[in-house]
Amino acid sequence: MKPIHYNLSLEPDLTAFTFKGKSQVEIDLEVPASTVCIHGKDLEIQVCNLRKENATSPVSRCDFDFDQKKQEIIVKLPSEVSGKIWLDFEFTGILNDMLAGFYRSRYIVDGETRYMATTQFEERDARAAFPCFDEPALKATFDLEFIVDSHLQGIANTAIKEEKALESGKKSIKFNRTPRMSTYLLYFGIGEFEFLVDDTKSPILRIAAPPGKAQFGKFALDIARKSFDYGETVLKAPYPISKCDFLVVTDFAAGAMENYGAITFRENLLLTYEGKSSKLDYIRIAQVVAHEIAHMWFGDLVSPLKWKYIWLNESFATYFTYAIPDYFFPEWKSWETLVGDRGLGGMNRDSLIYTIPVELPGDDEVNIDASTAPIIYAKGAIIIRILEEFLGQEKFFEGIRHFLKKYQYDSASSEQCWEAFEEATGEPIIDFAHSWVNQPGFPCIEVSQEGAKVTLTQSRFTYLENQSSNLWVIPVHLNLYMKDGSNQTMAVVLKQKSISFDLPADTLCFKLNKDQVGFYRVKYSLEHLDCLGNMIQKKVLCTLDRFGVQNDFYALTYRGDYQIKDYITFIQKYFSEDDSDLALVNIIENIGRLMLISPKNRTFISEISKLFAESVLKRIGLDPQEDETMLRAVVRSDYLHIAAECGSQVAKDYAFKQFELLREDKDVPADNLGSILRIIAANKPETWQYMVDQSLNPDLPEGKKVLFLTALGAYKTKELLDKSLEFNITDVPKRNRVYIIANVARNPEATKWIWGYYQANFQTFMKEFPISVLGNTLAIVPPIGGMYHEEEVLKFLEMVQNMDPRGKGTAKMAAEMAQLYSNISKR
């Protein structure tokens, strides 16, 4: 039973927030059937008819039932039939405000609040807009029509074919037929749009935004054209639609969504404002645009056979998130960002005993949430980069091109992907792939040395003790530093538990995981770490290797293999003069986390961190420089904040001065604004109302509003933090409700009482927060609560796991993190 084609007409009411719909779906019944099960939820079905020959043949009325648990409409056919049939439905639904399905989004024009209808269907919410076979492999073509008020415009996956006035005073907008595609990639957009167009070549690219805002999409449009050029040149696969739209959706839960030919974005991930957008804003937009355009091939052209194979979409798209910007802007050092930011997030998530493999196990429903996304996106992207190193770039892209060509307009599994790679390259990669894609977790390699003999022993790395006997196929590349000042490389493959080999006789020191390409931790002795520290101090190690040494040291300290003082002392001794922005950004994140969850060491860490941060700021300066990198800008901002938190008057005075300029409507450095606002909140309680007002200011870009919301979690009195939390529920748009509560939870002034607040208000959060926002709070607040209320937190999270299957993964993850935080807080 599979769909072939849909005729779909939708009529939204942007005043009553409802919609009416009519659909005809052509179905191929390969065996005789007396019932048809089709997905549907939150719909009222008025009519269901059967046509046996074509869309215009005589009708037979059908009875139907709903299975609410399976979200299915069970259509009872008048008799047993086979072959091609048509089912006709008439239905109504609600344009909800929970940022999923067919929903409403607010925007403001000249001070007036208006609404658009928009969609977010991944993973299983197309069924909330019309009856459909809502699984990625059940692809079909679509003819879409919108019936809307005459002043409104419509955007869908394809270009408009016909627009005409109706006798009712409304108008009909019909669109060209779509390619064969999955339901979760459909897009329906009805509202007032302003366009910025690049029609210099095919496909036509358009920024579509609320009136007055399209002009700020020029940078994103330029990146989009570059990304399309890259995709069509390098991947050599078709993009079958004449246009691609990039839509600003004000109320949007995710960052962006790869609807085929009609990609939706949060405003701050598509629009830039000269003098107000930071370097990080520009680079983040470039990355997100590249990621979504990569999806036009990975996910849209070739879709996952089942949701368990969603990594084929997201891991490849995340790889190209960095590959495309690196191709056009090598000075951005995008691969460093993948390793030190996104990849590190995947590694931290995978360090829990409860984790998942990149290819999801079983056939249960999948939720892309805080517990799964870091593995599917980040870890998967790193594994693909390792595969590129393993095959070489030429063969790697041969494999990609063959895979896309073989399964275009269709769906594929992991096995089919690997088979396509082997067919194209002639290289045996399935054992390697299974080791990293089908197996949960990742290894730690412990290094021991006796004279010239080195032994490497692998075991699964987790923060809490595990009983795993898993082994990985690990390509290990070593940098050898020789006594004469030269260096060499060595490569071994660790497949078994241990391997031993001899070093050259004149080796002074060595480091595993050359250039941090591998996805594993390395444990050295403290003596060996001191040797590497000397190499760091002399800048013998490259940027990525300096980052890797200290980050592995930190992770093993976090686990308890080393003392916290050992790590902090190592940083102070060997990184106080370092200019590796990648390492410096990570160091300050690590220090901040230790200060939060290790109260016994807080004073010691704070004293060292103040001196360390002031030293870094003195070297790089307090004000951004025009030609500096994005990572340098992030270093400055992060170190300003931590220095002020640790009592630096230099950092505070700088923030106070810049804030006064801001209050006078004068320019302040966009790269530093977030830290400035948090420093002000921590030191000037009288500014609370100003922060609130600015977070609601309709004239401010979305990105700046988020900075003000974040600052509202940085005040130092319970009274003001309680006011911030109340404001979060009553006035903050639902899409942004994670920022205040997350930053209150991470505020040392609130760690002892935030758990009580969260538990007392959880039922309200369940009603008022979109599921993705609720999941993010679940991943952040209970672990911090576990530092002081471990038993209560674990009971609560067990209850959450039983309440809603969608929250089970995040709740299990949060429970383990609560145990971990509790352990660390006692050291």
Could you report the per-residue pLDDT of 453-491, keeping only the tens digit for each?
999 999 999 999 999 999 999 999 999 999 999 999 999
DSSP secondary structure letter of residue 407: T
Show which residues are catalytic.
292
Look at residue 382 and tell me whether its pLDDT is greater than 80.
yes
- Give the tens place of pLDDT for each residue, 15-47: 999 999 999 999 999 999 999 999 999 999 999
pLDDT band at 362 (very low <50, low <70, confident <90, very high): confident
Rounded-to-integer distance, Cα 138 and Cα 202, Å: 29
Indicate whether 363 pLDDT > 90.
Answer: no
Q: Do domains 1-192 and 297-437 have the same CATH topology?
A: no
Strands, sheet with 507-512, edge to edge from the N-terminal-most edge strand:
487-494, 474-482, 507-512
C-beta separation of 224 from 271 below 8 A: no
3 state DSSP class of 464: coil
Mean pLDDT of 776-796: 95
Domain extent listing, the chain: 1-192, 297-437
- pLDDT value, residue 364: 66
Distance of CA 135 to the CA centre of its chain: 22
Neighbours of 730 (CB within 10 A): 8
The per-residue pLDDT for 12 is 98
For the chain, give the percent of residues with pLDDT over 90: 94
> Position 392: which residue type?
G
pLDDT at res. 40 = 98
Torsion of CA 617, 620, 624, 625, to 10 degrees: 170
The Cα-based distances of 808 to 439, 595, 772, 799, 800 in angstroms read 20, 29, 13, 10, 7
Could you tell me which CATH class the domain 297-437 is placed in? Answer: mainly alpha
Query: Mean pLDDT, to the nearest integer, of 180-205?
Result: 98
| pLDDT of residue 81 exceeding 90 | yes
The answer to whether the Cα torsion of 808, 811, 812, 813 is positive or negative is positive
Task: Kindly state the DSSP code that residue 609 receives in the 8-state scheme.
Answer: H
CA–CA dist 759, 777 (Å, integer): 12
Q: Is 640 helix (H, G, I), strand (E, B) or coil?
A: helix
Side-chain-side CA neighbours of residue 394 (13 Å): 1
- How far does Cα 636 stand from its chain's mean position? 24
What distance in Å separates the CA atoms of residue 627 and residue 101, rounded to the nearest whole number?
A: 44
Q: What is the mean pLDDT of residues 656-681?
A: 96
- For all residues of the chain together, what is the average pLDDT? 95
CATH number of 1-192: 2.60.40.1730
State the pTM of this model: 0.96
High-pLDDT (> 70) share of the chain, %: 100
Q: Which amino acid is at 97?
A: D
Tokens of 327: 């191709």
Q: List the structure tokens of 582.
A: 């990648």
Burial 4-33 (b: 16+ CB within 10 A, else e): ebbbbbbbbebeeeebbbbbbbbbebeeeb
What single-letter amino acid sits at 32?
Answer: P
- Amino acid letter, residue 766: M
Q: Quick check: helix, strand or coil at residue 755?
A: helix
- CB 414, CB 437: distance < 8 Å: yes
